Structure 1
Amino acid sequence: MNISTKLTVVALSTLTVTACLTAKQEPGGQEQKNQQLSAKASLESQGIASKALWPKDIHRVEKSKLLETRIDTLIATMSNEQKIAQMVQPEIRSMTVTDMRQYGFGSYLNGGGAFPNNNKHAKVGDWVQLAEDMYQASIDSSLDGSTIPTMWGTDAVHGHNNVIGATIFPHNIGLGAMNNPGLIHQVATATASEVAATGIDWVFAPTVAVARDDRWGRTYESYSEYPAIVSRYASEIVSGLQGEPGKDQFDSEHVISTVKHFLGDGGTVNGKDQGNNLSSEQALIDLHAQGYFSALEAGVQTVMASYNSWHGSKMHGNKSLLTGVLKDHMGFDGLVVGDWNGHGKIPNCSNNSCASAINAGVDIIMVPDDWKAFYHNTLQQLSEGTIKQERVDDAVRRILRVKLRAGLFDNPSPASRLANNDKHIIGSQAHRDIARQAVRESLVLLKNNNNLLPLMPRQQVLVTGSGADNIGMQSGGWTISWQGTGNSNDDFPGGSSIYDGIKTQVSNAGGSVELSTDASFKQKPDVAIVVFGEQPYAEYDGDISTIEHQPGNKQDLALLRALKAQDIKVVSIFLSGRPLWVNAELNQSDAFVAAWLPGSEGNGVAEVIFSKANGEANYDFVGKLPFSWPKSDDQNELNFAGAKNQTANYQALFSYGYGLNYREHVLVSNKLNEQSHLQSAASGAEHSYGLFNRRPENNLEFYLADAASPELLVTGNYATTPGSDNLVFDSVDWKKQEDTREFTWSGNASASVYLKGEQHIDLTELDLANGQLVFDVKVSSAPDAAVFLGMACGNNCAAKLDISKQLQALPVTKWQQMAIDISCFSQAGLNPGQITKPLIFESSSAAKFSIANVRIAKGGQGSNCSLSGN
C-alpha cells in the first residue's frame, strides 16, 4: 500500500466516524445532510458553484502597494471611453494602426492564420514592425488622450506556431506522453523567447483541459486524461513562459501566460466542442480544475474563459465560477479574457453586445470583427447602469495590474527590446534540439513483434504513406494556418519531415531509401515504414462521430495490406491527435508507433526507430500513453484515473501508462477484432466520400489555375490567380467559422478552381451505386455565360457539364443544395476508378458563388444527366 492510499483510507475512516457521531448526537442530522446535498445538487443543475469546495487564496503573487497606488492614479485620470477601450480586444485583420491611435485598445490579437500585412510569409521584422506601430499608436494621446501601452496576444500553443521558420514543438498530447516536467519547462522557455523576439507580449497558453471523450476535436490540446500530469505541467509551463519570480520574470525573453479554457471544456457531453459539461462540482474540481490550481500557484497572470457550458450555463456568463470562485475565493487578481466571440454565445447576447459577460467577470472581451459596435454598445450599457461603474473599474484595474507587472509601462518599445528582431532566436538550433528531444520522448511503442525495432539502417528501406514527407501533417492544427491546412514543406524552413530523418539515418549508414506515397517501389524493400494518420484540424473541425480511423474509406489500411501481401515487414508510424481504433491497421503492422503530432522536428522519429551500425539503439522508447487506447470502436470515453473517476469496466487495448521499450519482449496479436460495433455508422460511411466539409477531406487540397499559371496551391484563407484577378478564392463563414469557400470570377479570362490529391480516388462502387456529387451552393452574382462543373482522371481524362442555367435559376444569396449523378461524368468519358480531381469549377464569365459540404453520396437516379437542385 502506498502512502497516498494510506492517507485516503485514514481520511475516509475519519469521515465515517464523524458522520456516526453526528447522527447519534443529532437525530435529524442525516436528514439535514440530505437536504444540504439536495440543495447543492439543485445549484449544480443551474451551473452555480459552491465556493466552499474550492481551495482558497492560491494565486500566490505578492501585491505591491506602490503598484496599486500607481493603478489608482491611472484610473482616476481615465475617461469611461478610455476604460472601455482597455476592455475591447480586436483582431489585426479587422483593425488598423489608425484605429489603435483613435481608440487606444488595451490589447489586440492575431488569430490562427492572421499575419502582418496579411502575408503568410511575413518576416520576423514585419511582426516586430507591426508590434512597434501598434505600441506607438497606443501611447499616442493625440486622438484618444491615453498613453497606456497596448499588449499583443497570440495563440502560441506548440511553439510560436503562426510564424514561418519558428520551432514547432509536439502538440500537448505528445508532450504528455513524455511525462517530463523539466523538459516541458524548457519547451515553454524556448517558446517565450521566440514569441518575445517578434515583439508580442502575451501568449494564450497553456491549455490545461483534461479530455474525457476522444471524439473531441481538441483532444490533442490536452496533455492527458489523468489530471495529475496536467497539474504537474501547468506550473512548469507558466513559469517557463513568464519566468521565475525574483529571477527572470517578464524580462525581455519572457511573456505573459494564459491558462485556458476555464472551465470543463474537456468534459462535454459526447466530446462536442463548445458543448455542455454535466460533471458534478466535485468532479469539476477533481478532474478539470487541477491545472488551474497549479497555474495560479505559479503566478499565471491571465485566465481565458471557455466556450463550453456547465449544466447549461455558458462559462462566459458564469459569475459564480468566474468571479465567485476564481477571483473572490481562489484570490486570482489578474485578468480574465474571453475567447473568440465567446461572449456572443451567451443567451440574449450577440458578438457586438454582451453586458452579461462583463458582469459575470470577463475583463477583456475578445471581439475580433465587431469591436466598434461592441465598444459603443458597452459605453451605452455603462451609462444606462446595465453595467456598473465598479465592475468596469475592477476590470480596468486588473488589466493595468497585469501590464504593470509585465513591465509594459516601463520596458522599451517592441523595436527597442533586447530580444526583438533577432533572427537567430526564431527556429534556433538550441530550440530545435529541445523540440527534437521532445519528439523522441513523446513516441510510444505499441507493438514490436519479433523485436523488429530498432531497424538496422544499412538495408533497403521504403518510406511511404500520406504523412511520410509532410511536415504540415505531422504538425497538425494551429500551425501557420488556423486548421494547419494548406501548408507545404517549404513553409517550414529549418524543419524536417519524418522521411528527411529516415533518409539521413539510412544514407549515412550506407543503406538505400526510396520514397513513395502509394507504397509503390522500384526495388523490393527489406522493410517498409508507413507514415499515416489524421489530417490536420483544429477545434470543432476536429470533432468526430466515431473513433474508428478512416471509417468507410480505408486508404491507409489498403496500403498496409498491399505491402503485407508482398511479404514485406511493415513499421507503422501513426500520426494522430488522439488514440483511435486501429485494430485492423495494427494487425497489418509488425511494429506500431504512436507518434502523435510531433511538429517541425520529424528527424527525432528516425533517431529512435533506427539503430547504430552495430545494432545498438541510438535512443530507447521512453514515452507512455497519456490516454488509454481503445480495443473497440465504441470506447469513446475510456479513462483511467486511479480509483477515482475511472471508466466503469475499464478495458483498454493498451492501458494508460503503457509503452514498450527495447528491453521488453511483448507479442501483440495479429488477430485483433476488426468488427465495428457501430455497424449503422460504418455501413453509411461506405456509401459516401467526403470532399470538403469546412476544410478539404481525404488528403485533398484546393488549387487555382488560369492561362498564366497552370496550378497554384491555395495555402491560406485567401488567394488569387497569380498576376491577375481572374479568380479570387476566399474562406467565409456560413454556419461555422470559415466553413465555406467563395469563388469570384472577374470575367476577364478563363480560370478554374479544383480539389486535387496526391493519390487517385476510386469511385467505381459509388458510380455503380448511383452515386452523386452533392454540395450546398449560394449564388451572389449569377453568371451570364458558361460555368463548368467537372471531374478529372488525369491530364487527358476529364468530363465537365455546363451548370450556368442552374446557377442562374437559383435565388440569389440563399443556400440551396445541388447534385449530379457520377454516371453523368463517366458517360462523358471519365474513368471513375482513377479520379485525380473530384471537383472542378471553370468559367470565363463574371460570377460569384459559394460552396459548402461537398461530398459524393449514394442516392442518384441513374437515369438522365440533368442537374438536380432544391
Structure 2
Amino acid sequence: TVQVKDGTIPMSRLDDAVARVLRVKQRLGLFEAGKPSSRALSGRYELLGAPEHRAIAREAVRKSLVMLKNTGVLPLRPTAHILVAGDGADDIARQSGGWTLSWQGTGLTNAQFPGATSLWRGIEQSVAKAGGSAELAPDGDYKQRPDAAIVIFGETPYAEFQGDIPSLQLRPELRRPFATMRRLKAAGIPVVAVMITGRPLYVNEALNQSDAFVTAWLPGSEGAGVADLLFAGADNMPAHDFRGRLPTAWPATARHGGATLFPLGYGLTYADGPQRWTDLPEDSLVADDGNGPGVYFDKGVPAASWSLTVSQIDRGDNLRVTTVPAVGLGGRAQITATDYGVQEGARQFAIAAGSEGATVEIGALDALDLSRETNGDVVLLATLRLDARPSAPVSMSMGCDNAECGRPIPVAEFSTLAPGQWQVMAVPLKCFAAAGADMTRITAPFRLETAGSLGFSLARVALGSAAEADTAVQCPR
C-alpha cells in the first residue's frame, strides 16, 4: 500500500494484477456460479475427507514424488524392521506447508488434521500390514538395530514473507538430520532420505549421506502415499513405480542462478535400476550460512554489530561480555562457555539473586523495524538449556532505542523446561507489540530478566517460525 501511494509501484501495475485475477475468475465461471451456499453439495460437510477423495489425494502423492538417487536400497522390504528418523517424520502440518489451518501453517498439531496420516504413520501401517515393524526415533537413537532407516527432513511451513530465504539452502537448524544420516550410514545401516519441501534446495550433504533420496514435496494429509512407493509388494517387486519429474532445475549450490545438479524433468524410476553415485562437493558457494538477517546470536556469540550484555534490571552495572569466563553484577553473575553443536557453542549464565535483579540482553546501536515481521506471525526463537530452576519469575522484553520498550512479558514456561535439555523456545513478536513495544525501533530483540537466582545456557537467538520451537510462550491476556 505504501509503495503504491508513494509512486514506487504505479497504479497501472496494480490494475493489471487485479485484472489478471478477475479474468481467471471469469473464465472459471465464478461470477455466474452464485453464492457458495447455493451450489450443489453445499453444507454436506460429511463428504469432506471421504474415502474416495482421500484415495485420489494419495494417488496424487504417489505420482508427485521424485526419486533423485537410488543405489539399490529401494524398494525396501516391508517385512523388515524400519527406523523412521528426522524431525519431519510425524508432523502433518509440516508436510502440508503454509495456507492450511493458519496463514503460515504453523502452530498446529496432528490432532487438528482429523483423518490425515503423517509420513511416519503411513510407513508404520505399511510395514505392520506386511508383518514387519517400524520404530520412530527422530534423533536416530534406535532401541532395536534396524534393517534400514528412513530419515525425513526438510523445510518447516511458510507462506509469503516467512518463506523468504537469502540463499537456496535450509536454515542450519533444519540440517540437523544430516548428522543423523551420517551416523546411521557409518553404522552400516542403509539410509533413505525423504525431503519435505516446497522448492528445490541445495542439499548435497544429504544426497551424499543417503543411499536413496526422494523428494516428497508437500504431500499434505495423505502421508501413506509416500510409503506406497518406498516399499515392495508381497513379491518383493515394486508395488508402484516413481512417475514424478522435477518441475524446475535442482541447484548444485546455494547460489541463486548458480549451476544445475539435476535438470528440469529429471527423475529416476525403479525401471532404471540401481544407479552409481559419485559424491558431490559440499561447498554451498555462498557467504551466508542460510540464517538470513534475523539472527542476533549464534554459536554462543553475538552476530556482527550486536552485543551481549549483563546488567541490573534498571540497566545499571552494565557488563558487555566479549570474552569468557566473565563476572558481572558485583560477582552475582558468572558467564562461561559451554558446548552446543560445536565446542563452546553457547554461553552459560549462573546468576545469584539480588535486589537489583539481573538482565541478559542482546542489543545493537542501530534500530530495527520489525513491524512487518510482527504482522507476518514471526516469532523470536531462543535455543537454550535450563541449568538451575529460577527462584523468582522470569520475564522477557525488548529494547527500543536503548530504552525500555513496553511491559515485560511473564515467561512462566521457563520454569517448566526440563533441566539439562536443550530446547527451542518461541515468543511471538505480537506478544511484545501487545505489551506496548514499538516494533519499528527495536535495538534489543532479546531481554531476559529476573529478580531471583537462575542458571541457563544460551546458544542462539533468531527470528523464525513457531514450527521450529519445542515450547511456545503464551501472550498475556
Scaled by the length of structure 1, the TM-score of the pair is: 0.38
Residue deviations 1:179-199 (CA, integer Å, cap 9, x gap): xxxxxxxxxxxxxxxxxxxxx
Q: Which amino acid in the other structure matches residue 432 of structure 1?
A: R
Q: Deviations over 1:150-205 (max 9, x none)?
A: xxxxxxxxxxxxxxxxxxxxxxxxxxxxxxxxxxxxxxxxxxxxxxxxxxxxxxxx
1:312 equivalent in structure 2: none
Instruction: State the one-letter code of the partner of 2:83.
Output: L
Q: Secondary structure at the match of 2:100?
A: coil
**Distance between the aligned counterparts of 1:584 and 1:359, measured in 2?**
43
Deviations 1:297-332 (A, max 9, x none): xxxxxxxxxxxxxxxxxxxxxxxxxxxxxxxxxxxx
- 1:490 equivalenced with 2:111 (yes/no): yes
User: Which of 680, 688, 691 is the matching residue for 2:298?
Assistant: 688
Question: How far is the alpha carbon of 1:816 from its aligned partner?
Answer: 3.0
Q: Following TM superposition, by how much is the alpha carbon of 1:661 offset from its aligned partner in structure 2, in angstroms?
A: 0.7
Question: Which of 445, 450, 455 pairs up with 1:829?
Answer: 455
What is the count of residue pairs matched by the alignment?
377
Q: Which residue of 1 aligns with 2:376?
A: 739
Partner SS for 2:251? coil
1:614 paired to 2:226: no
Select which of 159, 164, 167 maps to 1:543: 164
Distance in 2 of aligned mates of 1:683 and 1:360: 36
Alignment match, 1:340: none
2:275 pairs with 667, 688, 694, which one?
Answer: 667
Per-residue CA deviation, residues 4-61 of structure 1 (Å, 9 max, x unaligned), is: xxxxxxxxxxxxxxxxxxxxxxxxxxxxxxxxxxxxxxxxxxxxxxxxxxxxxxxxxx
In structure 2, C-alpha distance between the alignment counterparts of 1:824 and 1:527, rounded to whole Å: 48
2:45 matches 1:423: yes
One-letter code aligned to 1:739: G
AA aligned to 1:662 is Y
Which residue of structure 2 aligns with residue 637 of structure 1? 257
User: In structure 2, what is the Cα distance between the partners aligned to 1:481 and 1:573?
Assistant: 25
Amino acid at match of 2:151: V
CA distance in 1, matches of 2:203, 2:24: 48
Question: Does 2:426 correspond to 1:818?
Answer: no
Answer yes or no: is the 8 Å Cα contact 1:576–1:596 preserved in 2: yes
Contact 2:74 2:231 in 1 (8 A): yes
CA gap 1:540/1:616 in 2 versus in 1, 3 angstroms: same
SS at structure 1 position matched to 2:45: coil
Distance 1:347 1:497 in 2: 46
Change (3 A) 1:675 1:355: closer
1:796 Cα deviation after fit: 4.4
Q: Shift of the alpha carbon at 1:424?
A: 3.8
Amino acid at match of 2:456: L
Quick one: distance in 2 between partners of 1:470 and 1:683?
A: 23
Check 1:838–1:789 CA distance in 2 against 1; reply closer, same or farther (3 A cut).
farther
Determine which of 260, 271, 290 is the counterpart of 1:652.
Answer: 260
| Residue aligning to 2:222 | 601
Shift of 1:560: 1.4
User: Do the aligned partners of residues 465 and 686 (structure 1) sit closer, same or farther apart at CA in structure 2, a change above 3 Å counting?
Assistant: farther
**CA offsets 1:231-256 (integer angstroms, 9 cap, x no match):** xxxxxxxxxxxxxxxxxxxxxxxxxx
Distance in 1 between residues matched to 2:98 and 2:92, nearest whole Å: 12
Distance change (3 Å), C-alpha of 1:490 and 1:401? closer
CA contact (8 A) 1:793 1:837 kept: no
Greater helix percent: which structure? 1
Q: How does 1:289-438 map to 2 (within 5 A)?
A: 345-348=3-6, 356=11, 360=15, 406-408=31-33, 415=37, 417-438=39-60
Per-residue deviation, residues 629-687 of structure 1 (Å, max 9, x unmatched)? 112222x226xxxxxxxxxxxx5221221111112135343521112312454799896
Gaps of 5+ in 2: 301-369, 388-394, 423-431, 462-467
2:442 counterpart letter in structure 1: Q
Indicate conservation of the 8 Å contact 1:792/1:798, yes or no.
no
**Residues 689 and 418 (structure 1), Cα distance of their counterparts in 2 relative to 1, 3 Å cut:** farther
Cα 1:552–1:608 change in 2 (3 A) is closer
One-letter amino acid matched to 2:6: N
Aligned equivalent of 1:519, options 123, 137, 140: 140
**Cα 1:633–1:525, aligned 2, differ >3 Å: closer, same or farther?**
same
User: For 1:447-486, what aligned pairs fall within 5 Å after superposition?
Assistant: 447-449=69-71, 451-486=72-107
Q: Tell me the distance in 2 between the aligned counterparts of 1:578 and 1:683.
A: 17
Contact 1:581/1:633 (8 A) holds in 2: yes
Local SS of the residue matching 1:462: strand
Pair 346,686 (structure 1): closer, same or farther in 2 beyond 3 Å? closer
Write the letter of the residue equivalent to 2:418: N
Which amino acid is 1:520 matched to? D
Aligned residue for 1:613, secondary structure, equals: coil
Report the Cα distance in structure 2 between the residues aligned to 1:491 and 1:840, rounded to whole angstroms: 17
Tell me the equivalent position of 1:339.
Answer: none
Higher strand share: 2
- Contact 1:477–1:484, Cα closer than 8 Å, also in 2: yes
| Deviation readout 1:317-357 (Å, 9 max, x if unpaired) | xxxxxxxxxxxxxxxxxxxxxxxxxx55314379xxx9946
Shift of 1:438: 1.0
- Secondary structure in structure 2 of the residue aligned to 1:513: strand
String of CA shifts for 1:609-632, please: whole Å, max 9, x gaps.
Answer: 101122011100111111111122
Q: Partners of 1:581 and 1:610 in 2: how far apart?
A: 27
Structure 1: segments with no counterpart, 5+ residues: 1-342, 367-394, 639-650, 691-732, 743-753, 765-772, 800-806, 849-870
Asked whether the 8 Å contact 1:676–1:682 carries over to 2, the reply is: no
Maintained 8 Å contact 1:775/1:817: no
Residues 730-787 of structure 1 deviation map (CA, whole Å, 9 limit, x = unaligned): xxx8225623679xxxxxxxxxxx979xxx86899xxxxxxxx99855778636xx95
Per the TM alignment, residue 597 of structure 1 is displaced from its structure 2 partner at its CA by 0.8
CA distance in 2, matches of 1:674, 1:448: 19
Q: Is the alpha carbon distance of 1:465 and 1:495 closer, same or farther for their aligned partners in structure 2, counting shifts above 3 Å? A: same
| 2:69 match: secondary structure | strand
Deviations 1:689-748 (A, max 9, x none): 79xxxxxxxxxxxxxxxxxxxxxxxxxxxxxxxxxxxxxxxxxx8225623679xxxxxx
Q: Give 2:48's aligned amino acid.
A: I
In 2, Cα distance between equivalents of 1:619 and 1:403: 34
- Partner Cα distance (1:562, 1:823) in 2: 39
**How far did 1:405 drift?**
7.5
Q: Which has the larger Rg?
A: 1
Q: Which residue number corresponds to residue 712 of structure 1? A: none
